[in-house]
Amino acid sequence: MKVKGLRWWVVGLVALAAVVNYIDRQAFGALWPDIANDLFPEMDKDGHKVIFGTISTVFILSYASGQALFGKIFDWIGTRMGFALSIGVWSIATMLHAFAQGMLSFSIFRSILGLAEAGNWPGAAKANAEWFPTKERALAQGVFNSGAAIGGIVAYPVIGLLSAYLDWKSIFIVVGALGLLWLLPWLFIVKSGPKTHPWLSEDERKYILSGQKNQDVDEDGNYDDGYVPNTGELLKHKESWGVIIASAALDPIWWLFIVWIPIYLSEVFGMNVKEIAFSAWVPYVGAMIGAWYGGLLAQKKLNFGWTVDKTRKYVITLGCIIMIPCFILLKYPGAPQVLGFFGVEESAALTMADPQVKKIMDNDAFKDLKADKDFIINIAGNSTNEIKSNPRFKKAYQSAVWKTPKAEATKEERLLPKYGPPSDSGIAALAYLSEINNARNTAALIAVVIMAILLFGFQVAIGNIQTLPSDLFGGKIVGTLSGFAGMAAKLGAAGLTLLVTFITTGGNYTPAFLIGGALALIALLSVWILCPKIEPLKPKN
């Protein structure tokens, strides 16, 4: 039996693995508001954020270790069994989340998950190098990366839908089982590499292997060897460090959003789990389109006769140029001038941002009332005293827990607007609750659209950065360099994740966005300076 286009079946399965990968990892962030209220009911949102940031940092550090480990494992045992080991372990780890009781147990299970999920990326890079000729690799990488984006798109709605019927523990069991099901078609279809696969036609086999001729540095007719240095020699090349630094700078941008989008939407716009589930997927649409566009653009340029060097740098530069202004724009989605452009009255925009109003809008006791159309209609235009006497408002107000300063707080700190119950001005604003909700929803929509454009640029750039190991070295060392680059990227992501925990106190994410813009610039410079010519390298001697 021969299967036409078998290489696309292989990359399709790898992309599907990325979809499962993202559903498994995003479940924690999407379900965090429910998990936090269940396991840590005595803490406020800043306390919940510290726990979430700490557990997420543990996950990313484990992921970083797993990148280097699985880079070697894929080079040792091959693509087929490497993926089977990786996805089998991470699926079981996801299911174990259902038994977590606190920060320690969650950290342990997230650590196992991160270690195993890390195999997806060096495995994808190695599968790409094995199964695709040079001119198709950016497109194949784009297909794979779009799997990560599709995973982000479907994860939140799927989890939101499941949350309507299941508790958070049961949801972890369900999504963990998806990876075990993926193993069945993978082991059946991917029987071996392209050299010996019995289903591969001779024409396609020749097309794949002859298309890798740029790696035949020793001109022995073996197209998949190329220059395969040992680890020490690999790290002596500045081009290797160009790949590593570009990954270490650019990849944390992705993690900035996949970790913090749910918390950002909850903290800044007061969204609950279901609202997050049906909003947080939007940025991943931009990412999916960017993954495909970056691959197709690179393929088009190569078909026009552009060199690999010119093509990669052009596409990577384009992606970074798209990202940088988006980071600046993310400071302003709630600005009255911006909301006014979308038809929101200035008074509603200013009221939405009032600290006294935010005390009520962000308080868990009012999460149902602010979305209840009957309540909104009943208090519309009412005076402060009329709102206070409303039975439903009175019940929610009496059950609410208001943020109080710590014992060691100074007199000035105790007077900050964020502490204590809201003033009469905050309560009076509820007479315009419909307008406040409209302003918040519009600001949230603007923010997620900007994120979608930003992640479009990210995927345009990252897909071509991830092909650099196979552009520079032979297939037998690609997994190793991809693993080192991935480890550096995840260490950078872990550092940024932990930093965001402390620099966004009170819901101010501007410092995090400014850091993201600087990282995009660093990634761009590292490619241009440390990779003066992207082509197959030769031994230094």
Which H or E run contains 120?
helix 120-131
Better-predicted residue by pLDDT, 272 or 36: 36
Among 6, 3, 244, 297, which residue's Cα sits nearest to residue 135? Answer: 297
What number of CA atoms fall less than 13 Å from residue 510's CA on the CB side? 8
Among 248, 246, 241, 240, which residue's Cα sits nearest to residue 492? Answer: 248
d(CA 276, CA 102): 23
Query: Which parts of 35-153 are beta strand (E)?
Result: none
- Stretch 285-290: mean pLDDT: 90
pLDDT at 475: 63
Q: Which two tokens stand for residue 211?
A: 């298309």
What number of CA atoms fall less than 13 Å from residue 142's CA on the CB side? 25
Radius of gyration of the chain (CA): 25
End-to-end CA distance of the chain: 47
Most confident option among 133-137, 246-250, 351-355: 246-250
- Stretch 109-131: mean pLDDT: 87
d(CA 16, CA 39): 33
Domains in the chain (CATH in brackets) are 1-212 (1.20.1250.20), 238-363+432-540 (1.20.1250.20)
Q: Which two tokens stand for residue 295?
A: 């691959």
Res. 487 pLDDT band, cuts 50 70 90: confident
Among 118, 122, 142, which residue's Cα sits nearest to residue 8? Answer: 142
pLDDT at 220: 46
- The 10 Å Cβ neighbour count of residue 415 is 11
- In sequence order, what are the residues at sequence separation of 6 or more whose Cβ sits closer than 8 angstroms to the Cβ of residue 144? 11, 14, 15, 18, 124, 128, 291
Residue 252 reports pLDDT greater than 90: yes
Predicted TM-score (pTM) of this structure: 0.75
